[in-house]
Amino acid sequence: MLTVFEVHQEEKKVIKIEESGEYLVKLVGSGADVEITGSFRAIGKEKTDVTVIIHHQAPHTRANTTLRGVGEDQATVRFVGRIKIDEKCGDTNSFLTERILLLSDDAKAEAIPDLEILSDDVKCSHAASISRIPAEHLFYLMSRGLTQKAAEALIVEGFLAL
Amino acid sequence: MARFAQKHTTKYDPKAANSYEHGYSFSTDKYSYITKPGIRREVVEEISHLKEEPEWMLELRLIAYDQFMAKVMPPWGADLSGINFDLIRYYLRPTDTQVKSWDEVPPEVKKTFDRLGIPEAERAVLAGVKAQYDSEVVYGSLKNVWAKDGVIFLSMDEGLKQYPDLVKEYFGKVIPSGDNKFSALNSAVWSGGSFVYVPKGVNVKMPLQTYFRINAEFAGQFERTLIIVDEGATVHYVEGCTAPNFSSYSLHSAVVEIFVKKGARCQYTTIQNWYKNIYNLVTKRAYVEEEGEMVWTDFNMGSKVTMKYPGFILAGKGAKGETLSMALAGAGQHQDTGSKAIHLAPHTSSTIVSKSISKDGGRTSYRGMVNVGPHAHDSKNTVICDALLLDSISRSDTYPVDRIFNSHVQIQHEATVSKIGDDQLFYLMSRGITEENARKMIVNGFVDDLIRKLPLEYAVEMNRLIEYEMEGSIG
C-alpha cells in the first residue's frame, strides 16, 4: 500500500507515520519544508516494515526524516529510507536518521538508508544505527533503585519520544 | 598441442577488428594464438588444453561455463547493456615481440605519464607496448629473499603447474564459480593473475607488486588471483598502478580469493586506472579466521563502468575486516563500488570507509552490505560514506543494506553528500590561493586519510593524479 504526500511551494508540513507501509513524500514546490517522524514498537512476532521515499523535485527544499524502532521478543524491524534529489534542485537540505533498539536476542533488524543525488548544491546525509540498550545506561538507572524492567521501559519511552 | 589447436585458430581479420565496438581496436595480428570471438564450450576446453591443465580444472571450467550460460545479467547496478559477449576474444597469448608501438598510444595517456613522473622503462609496459617489464636486475634479488622464507609468488598458471595440490585445496572455495555471472565467466576462461602463499609466521616487509612479477603474463582480461596467508604471517599485495593502464580489452572480469589464517594479516591494495572504454566487473572476497585481519584498499579512477564490492567473511572469533574505498568518476564513467562485511563469529569488527568524487557528469555509487549472523554476538561495524559532487551534472548514490540477526551488536552507518562549499573556497582564496588550487587542495584533503594508507610512492603519484584529473574542472 503506497501513501503519497505532496508538499507545495512555501508549505510547511509535519508528517507522522504510524503504521507499516510505503510512503512517498514529494517536495514539488520551491521552499517546501517537511518534517517526517515515525516511532514503532514491535512485540511478539510482529513485523514492522516501513519504506519512506523523500523525493525532492524543486530547489530550496528541506526535509528532515527520523525513524525510530524498538524490537522485542521475536519481532522484526525493517526501515527503508530513500532520499532522491532530482537535477536542478539546488539549495536542498535533506537528512534521514534510522535508529533501531533491540531488546531481545531473537529480535531482528534491517536498516536500508539510500541516497540518490543528481544536483550538486545540496547538503544531504543519512545515519543508521542498530544496537542493544547499553549496559551502562541500565546500570545507572538500576543503581538509582529501579528494577531492570522499569529501567528498560524508561529507556524505551525516552528513545521513542520524538 | 599445436595439432589440436590448429582447428580453432584464426588469422587476424581486419573486418572483425572493425566491428569490435567497445574495444580499442588495435591490431591483434601479432598474437601467437587467438581464439575466435564468442564463448562456446569448445573455447573453454581449448584454453584448458593449451595450458595443459589437470583434469579437475577442466571440469571446474566446464561447470562454470554452464553456470555462466544459465545466469542472467544482474538486474541492479550499473548499465551493462554495452557488453556483447559474442564479440569478445576469451584467450589471447601475446608473442614475445612487441605487440603495439609507442606511436599508437593516445596522447592523453602519454601526457599523464609525464605528469606522474613514471620511469621510461615502466611507461612502455604500462602502455601495453611491451608485454613485460624487464625487472630482473632490480627485483631479482628481492625475489630470492622471499624464496628463502618459503614465500611463493607466481602467476596463477605457473602456480597451478608447480603446486597443484595447494591450488586445488583453495581454488574456488571462497568465491565459487556460481557466485555470480561474472565469477562464473572468470572461472570458465581465466588466465593470468597471481598465486601467493606466505608460510606460517613469515612477515613479508616489502609489498608484493604485480608488475614486479617476473616471467608472467602481465595483465589479463580474466585474471584469477589466489592469496593464502598462513597462521601469523603478514603480507601486503599491490595490484595495478596510478598510471593509466592501457589495454585493448573491453571487458575486465577478475576474481580474487584470499585466505587469512589464524592471527594472520593481509592488505590488498588496488589502484585501478583502466582506460575509459573498459567494463571492469570484479569479484573479490577474503575468508578471515580467528584473530586474522583483512584490509582492502581500493582506488578506482579509470574504466567506463566499474562494479566491485570487495568483501570479507569474518569466520573466526575476533577477526577484523577493513575496507577503504575511493572512487573518482569523470565524464561517461560510472563507479559502482562498495564493500560487503559478513560477520559469522563473535567479537568480530569491521570498518568500511568510502569516499567518492563525481565530476563532469560522472556517477559514483556506494553499494554495500553488512550482514551479522546469529552467532556473531558482540560484533561491531561502522560504515562511513562521503561523497563530493563537483558540478551540477554529476550524480552520487548511496545504497547500503544492514542485516542484523543478533542483537548484541553495534552497527553504525553514516553518509554525507556535499559540494565544495563557497565559504571554504572564499577562505582559501582570501589567503591568496587561486580558485583552481583551492579546489585541488580541498579535494586532496577530502581523500587524504585514505591516501595515507598507501605506500609512499603510490601516495605521491595518487596526489599528482588527482591534481591532474582536477585540472580545468572549474565550472
Predicted pLDDT of residue B126? 54
Do A126 and B389 count as a contact with CB atoms less than 8 A apart? no
> What does the pLDDT look like over A96-113, one tens digit per residue?
999 999 888 888 888 888
Counting one residue from A and one from B, how many pairs have CB atoms under 8 Å apart?
A: 106
How far does A137 lie from chain B, in Å, by closest CA?
15
Contacts of A128 in chain B (CB under 8 A): 400, 402, 411-414
Residue partners of B376: CB distance under 8 A and separation at least 6: B314, B343, B344, B345, B346, B348, B406, B409
Q: Which of the residues B360, B372, B398, B408 would you substitute to probe the A interface, choosing the one with the greatest number of A C-beta atoms within 10 Å? A: B398
Q: What 3-state DSSP class applies to B379?
A: strand
The C-alpha angle B229, B232, B233, rounded to 5 degrees, equals 45
Q: State the DSSP code for B290.
A: T
Q: Chain B residue with minimal CA distance to A84?
A: B397
- Rounded CA-CA distance B368/B312 in Å is 12
Do A130 and B409 count as a contact with CB atoms less than 8 A apart? yes
Q: State the DSSP code for A90.
A: -
Average pLDDT over residues A56-76: 92
Pick B397's closest partner by Cβ from A117, A125, A131: A117
Q: Chain A residue with minimal CA distance to B375?
A: A105
Q: Does B393 touch chain A (CB under 8 A)?
A: yes
Predicted pLDDT of residue B319? 96
Contacts of A118 in chain B (CB under 8 A): 395
Spans of chain B below 70 pLDDT: 1-36, 92-144, 210-220, 240-249, 472-475
Do A103 and B407 count as a contact with CB atoms less than 8 A apart? yes
DSSP code string of B131-160: SS---HHHHHHHHHHHHHTT-EEEEHHHHH
ipTM of the complex: 0.73
Q: What is the largest CA-CA distance in chain B?
A: 74
Predicted pLDDT of residue B93? 55
Average pLDDT over residues A45-50: 92
Residue partners of B283: CB distance under 8 A and separation at least 6: B175, B179, B180, B182, B183, B186, B254, B255, B256
The grid cell for B435 is: 580558485
Predicted pLDDT of residue B248? 56
Amino acid in position B423:
D
Q: Chain A residue with minimal CA distance to B371?
A: A110
Pick B407's closest partner by Cβ from A90, A107, A119: A107
Q: Chain B residue with minimal CA distance to A124?
A: B417
Do B412 and A127 count as a contact with CB atoms less than 8 A apart? yes
Pick B397's closest partner by Cβ from A116, A120, A125: A116
* Interface residue ranges in chain A relative to chain B, Cβ cutoff 8 Å: 71, 87-88, 90, 102-132
Please, are residues A26 and A57 in contact by the beta-carbon 8 Å criterion? Answer: yes
Q: Does B413 touch chain A (CB under 8 A)?
A: yes
Amino acid in position A23:
Y
Q: Chain B residue with minimal CA distance to A73?
A: B407
Burial-class residue A157 by CB neighbours within 10 Å (0-12, 13-18, 19+): exposed
Please, are residues B138 and B214 in contact by the beta-carbon 8 Å criterion? Answer: no
> What does the pLDDT look like over B265-278, one tens digit per residue?
999 998 887 777 78
Please, are residues B353 and B324 in contact by the beta-carbon 8 Å criterion? Answer: yes
Predicted pLDDT of residue B105? 63
Please, are residues B292 and B321 in contact by the beta-carbon 8 Å criterion? Answer: no
Please, are residues B153 and B225 in contact by the beta-carbon 8 Å criterion? Answer: no
CA distances from A32 to A4, A54, B173, B358 (A): 15, 12, 53, 27
Q: Chain A residue with minimal CA distance to B361?
A: A118
Pick B417's closest partner by Cβ from A117, A131, A132: A117
Please, are residues B300 and B334 in contact by the beta-carbon 8 Å criterion? Answer: no
Count the helix, strand and coil residues of chain A and give each as a percent rounded to the nearest 5.
15, 55, 30
Please, are residues B109 and B465 in contact by the beta-carbon 8 Å criterion? Answer: no
Give the helix/strand (H/E) hosting B263. Answer: none
The grid cell for B328 is: 573518482
- Rounded CA-CA distance A24/B367 in Å is 22
Length of chain A: 162
Contacts of B396 in chain A (CB under 8 A): 115, 117
Predicted pLDDT of residue B20? 42
Task: Tell me the pLDDT of chain A averaged across its residues.
Answer: 90
- Rounded CA-CA distance B74/B367 in Å is 14
Predicted pLDDT of residue B290? 95
Pick A104's closest partner by Cβ from B407, B413, B415: B407
How far does A64 lie from chain B, in Å, by closest CA?
14
Pick A124's closest partner by Cβ from B394, B404, B417: B417
Do A102 and B407 count as a contact with CB atoms less than 8 A apart? yes
- Rounded CA-CA distance A76/B371 in Å is 15
Sign, CA dihedral B7-B11-B17-B23, equals positive
Contacts of B387 in chain A (CB under 8 A): 115, 117
Give the confidence band of A35 by pLDDT, cuts at 50, 70, 90: very high
Predicted pLDDT of residue B158? 83
Q: State the DSSP code for B368.
A: E
Contacts of B389 in chain A (CB under 8 A): 117, 119-120, 122
Q: Which of the residues B364, B372, B396 would you substitute to probe the A interface, choosing the one with the greatest number of A C-beta atoms within 10 Å? A: B396
Do B407 and A71 count as a contact with CB atoms less than 8 A apart? yes
pTM of the model: 0.80
Pick B402's closest partner by Cβ from A105, A120, A128: A128
Residue B96's CB: how many other CB atoms inside 10 A? 9
Do A131 and B418 count as a contact with CB atoms less than 8 A apart? no
Predicted pLDDT of residue A156? 92
Please, are residues B183 and B255 in contact by the beta-carbon 8 Å criterion? Answer: yes
Contacts of A51 in chain B (CB under 8 A): none
Q: Which of A9-18, A116-125, B145-154, B236-245 has the lowest mean pLDDT?
A: B236-245
Pick B389's closest partner by Cβ from A108, A117, A125: A117
Q: Chain B residue with minimal CA distance to A123?
A: B418
With CA atoms as reference, report the closest residue to B125 among B31, B219, B45.
Answer: B219
Buried b / exposed e along B225-238 (16+ C-beta atoms within 10 A): bbbbbbbbbbbbbb
Q: Does B402 touch chain A (CB under 8 A)?
A: yes
The C-alpha angle A110, B396, B325, rounded to 5 degrees, equals 75
Predicted pLDDT of residue B475? 38
SS3 per residue for B5-39: HHHHCCCCCHHHHHCCCCCCCCCCCCCCEECCCCC
Do A126 and B390 count as a contact with CB atoms less than 8 A apart? no
With CA atoms as reference, report the closest residue to B376 among B412, B340, B350, B353.
Answer: B350
